[in-house]
Amino acid sequence: MTVQSKPLDDAVGTGEVRFPADFTWGMATASYQIEGAVAEDGRTPSIWDTFSRVPGAVMGGDTGDVACEHYHRMPSDVALLADLGATSYRFSVSWPRVRPDAGPVNPAGLAFYDRLVDELLGHGIAPWLTLYHWDLPQALEDAGGWTNRDTAHRFVDYALAVHDVLGDRVPTWTTLNEPFCSSLLGYTAGHHAPGRQEGAAGLVAAHHLLLGHGLVTTELRSRGADRLGLSLNLTVPDPSDPDDLVDVDAARRIDALHNRLFLDPVFRGSYPADLLEDTSHLTWQRKPWYDVVRDGDLAITSAPIDVLGVNYYHGNEVSGHLRTDVVGVGADGPDRVAVSPFVGSEHVTFPSRGLPVTDMGWEIQPEGLHRLLRRLHDDYPRLPIYLTETGAAFADVPDEHGVVHDPDRIAFLDSYLRAVHLAVDEGVDVRGFFQWSFCDNFEWAFGYAKRFGLVHVDYDTQLRTPKSSAHWYAELSRTGMLPATESLGG
Ligand code: FCB
How far from the centroid of its chain's Cα atoms is residue 161's Cα? 23
Q: How confident is the model at residue 488 (pLDDT cuts 50, 70, 90)?
A: low
| Residue 145 Cα distances to 33, 149, 150, 215, 432, angstroms | 20, 8, 9, 17, 33
Atom of ligand 1 nearest to the CA of 450: 6
472 CB within 6 A, ligand 1: no
Largest CA distance in the chain: 63
Q: What whole-number distance in Å separates Cα of residue 126 and Cα of residue 24?
A: 9
| Residue 213 Cα distances to 187, 229, 401, 405, 464, angstroms | 18, 9, 47, 40, 35
Query: What's the CA-to-centroid distance between 285 and ligand 1, angstroms?
Result: 31
Q: What amino acid occupies position 262?
A: F
Atom of ligand 1 nearest to the CA of 391: 6
Q: What amino acid occupies position 447?
A: G
| pLDDT given at position 88 | 99
Residue 152 has pLDDT above 90, yes or no: yes
In the predicted model, what is the mean pLDDT of residues 225-252? 98
* Cβ atoms of residues 417 and 461 within 8 Å: no
Query: What's the CA-to-centroid distance between 378 and ligand 1, angstroms?
Result: 26
Q: Tell me: the pLDDT tens digits for 256-309? A: 999 999 999 999 999 999 999 999 999 999 999 999 999 999 999 999 999 999
177 CB within 6 A, ligand 1: yes
| pLDDT given at position 6 | 47
Residue 4 has pLDDT above 50, yes or no: no
CA-nearest residue, atom 4 of ligand 1: 443
30 CB within 6 A, ligand 1: yes
Is it true that the peptide bond before 194 is cis, omega within 30 degrees of 0? Answer: yes
The three-class DSSP label of residue 464 is strand
Query: What's the CA-to-centroid distance between 443 and ligand 1, angstroms?
Result: 7
Q: How confident is the model at residue 332 (pLDDT cuts 50, 70, 90)?
A: confident
240 CB within 6 A, ligand 1: no
Atom of ligand 1 nearest to the CA of 360: 6
Atom of ligand 1 nearest to the CA of 233: 7
- Of 178, 317, 367, 443, which one is the catalytic site residue? 178
Find the helix or strand (DSSP H, E) in which 39 lies. none
Q: Percentage of the chain with pLDDT > 70?
A: 96
Residue 110 has pLDDT above 90, yes or no: yes
Q: What whole-number distance in Å separates Cα of residue 137 and Cα of residue 124?
A: 32
176 CB within 6 A, ligand 1: no
How far from the centroid of its chain's Cα atoms is residue 368's Cα? 17
Q: How confident is the model at residue 3 (pLDDT cuts 50, 70, 90)?
A: very low
Residue 9 has pLDDT above 60, yes or no: no
| pLDDT given at position 1 | 34
- Of 119, 367, 389, 443, which one is the catalytic site residue? 389
Query: What's the CA-to-centroid distance between 206 and ligand 1, angstroms?
Result: 18
Mutate-to-test residue for ligand 1 from 52, 178, 360, 413, highest number of ligand atoms within 8 A of CB:
178
Please tell me which residue, 142 or 485, carries the higher pLDDT value.
142
Q: What whole-number distance in Å separates Cα of residue 384 and Cα of residue 381?
A: 9
| pLDDT given at position 2 | 35
Q: What whole-number distance in Å separates Cα of residue 62 and Cα of residue 41?
A: 22
Q: What whole-number distance in Å separates Cα of residue 339 and Cα of residue 354?
A: 24
233 CB within 6 A, ligand 1: yes
119 CB within 6 A, ligand 1: no
In the predicted model, what is the mean pLDDT of residues 424-448? 98
| pLDDT given at position 220 | 98
Nearest to 318 by CA among 351, 353, 344, 346: 351
With b for 16 or more beta-carbon neighbours within 10 A and e for fewer, the 147-178 pattern comes to bbbebbebbbbbbebbbebbeeebebbbbbbb
Q: What whole-number distance in Å separates Cα of residue 308 and Cα of residue 213?
A: 13
444 CB within 6 A, ligand 1: yes
443 CB within 6 A, ligand 1: yes
CA-nearest residue, atom 2 of ligand 1: 178
Local structure of residue 428 (DSSP, 8 states): -
Atom of ligand 1 nearest to the CA of 177: 8
Pairing state between β 463-466 and 385-390: unpaired
CA-nearest residue, atom 10 of ligand 1: 443
Query: What's the CA-to-centroid distance between 412 and ligand 1, angstroms?
Result: 16
Q: How confident is the model at residue 337 (pLDDT cuts 50, 70, 90)?
A: confident
132 CB within 6 A, ligand 1: no
| Residue 326 Cα distances to 200, 321, 354, angstroms | 25, 11, 10
Q: Tell me: the pLDDT tens digits for 358-413? A: 999 999 999 999 999 999 999 999 999 999 999 999 999 999 999 999 999 999 99
| pLDDT given at position 338 | 82
Cβ atoms within 10 A of the Cβ of 233, count?
A: 19
Query: What's the CA-to-centroid distance between 441 and ligand 1, angstroms?
Result: 10
389 CB within 6 A, ligand 1: yes
Average pLDDT, the chain: 96
The three-class DSSP label of residue 369 is helix
pTM: 0.97
434 CB within 6 A, ligand 1: no
| pLDDT given at position 5 | 41
Q: How confident is the model at residue 330 (pLDDT cuts 50, 70, 90)?
A: low
- Annotated active-site residue 178? The verdict is yes
The number of residues making up the chain comes to 490
| pLDDT given at position 10 | 59
Residue 228 has pLDDT above 50, yes or no: yes
Query: What's the CA-to-centroid distance between 486 and ligand 1, angstroms?
Result: 30
Query: What's the CA-to-centroid distance between 437 and ligand 1, angstroms?
Result: 9
Query: What's the CA-to-centroid distance between 162 and ligand 1, angstroms?
Result: 23
| pLDDT given at position 23 | 98
178 CB within 6 A, ligand 1: yes
